[in-house]
Amino acid sequence: MLNSLPRSRQTDDAVFGKTIYGGSHEPVYGGVLSFMRRRLTRNLDGVDVAVWGIPFDAAVSNRPGARFGPQGVRRASAILEGDPQYPFRADPFERLAVIDYGDCGLDFGRHDETPWQIEAQASEVVDAGVTLLSIGGDHYVTWPLLRAHAKRYGPLALVQFDAHQDTWLDEEKRIDHGSFVARAVAEGLIVPERSIQVGIRTHAPDSCGLEILHGEDVAELGVVGVVERITARVGDASTYLTFDIDCLDPAFAPGTGTPVAGGLSSREALMILRRLGSLDIIGADVVEVAPAYDHADVTSIAGAAVLQHYLGLLAEKKG
């Protein structure tokens, strides 16, 4: 029997693992791929965190391909073994029960149903009291995710890492990845006075009341200064983190639909995330990873590292 094999010889923990706790030690180049080898299941009993893919990119304004983001990030995450995770010095799965919840089911021919399907399926997880970490997909998916979370937690603080403000106003039925913030503010899903955008390197017609740290601001403030601005803005509010991978400079994330020069390095971004443990994080996502434009999986690796940092923060909070 496979489950009787020593841990060093067992493979496919995503399917055959005995427990949803503990790290995996199977070869990084083989086995069934789930996020960090977590059990693939829809059973939410006893689960702390569910990692969920949303393979949708019909809202992009430039290069499509983020529908393959969940696959790319999962593949890149295989290198994150069950050892103590840097820089947290601990295995998050010793404290957190984490599963891979699979992907959102969507009809490619009925985009009008997409936001409501995402919201409904996300709500099944959120309403069960499980923290949802989502892998996009383009940034349009964050709007229905915010709807699902706000129904349970009320209006949220938003911490958005991005090259774009995504505050473009649009028609109610328009499918557009550049408008989720404007919609969220208009619907009262987020509290602008408690929300902040980090790494912005484009202009939009309206700030919608959010604080903006441009790419140049990040460089001038440094990691410590940026963290201070984020924590001061958010305070103790229930917080949703969204990380558009194009927040990073194209040198660190070429595999995305709308790359913008002058962004953060992977190291800067991860150092900032590492220091956000005081926030009350109730949900998070990473979006806009488009593996077809990637080189050597560097963008997918960055996306996997962002999610790994989310897990590290949640594990420390629980511990």
Annotated binding-site residues for Mn(2+) read: 139, 162, 164, 166, 244, 246
What sign for the dihedral angle of Cα 240, 246, 248, 253? positive
Buried b / exposed e along 197-233 (16+ C-beta atoms within 10 A): bbbbbeebeeebebbebbbeebeeeebeebbebbbeb
Contact call for residues 62 and 257 (beta carbons, < 8 A)? yes
Residue 2 in tokens: 């496979």
| Annotated binding-site positions | 139, 162, 164, 166, 244, 246
Nearest Cα residue to 92 out of 39, 20, 18: 20
Q: Torsion angle of alpha carbons 271, 85, 310, 52, nearest 10°?
A: 140
The half-sphere exposure of 16 on its side-chain side, counting CA atoms within 13 A, is 14
Farthest-apart Cα atoms in the chain, separation: 62
Write the CA distances from 96 to 53, 212, 267, integer angstroms.
19, 33, 25
Contact call for residues 26 and 14 (beta carbons, < 8 A)? no
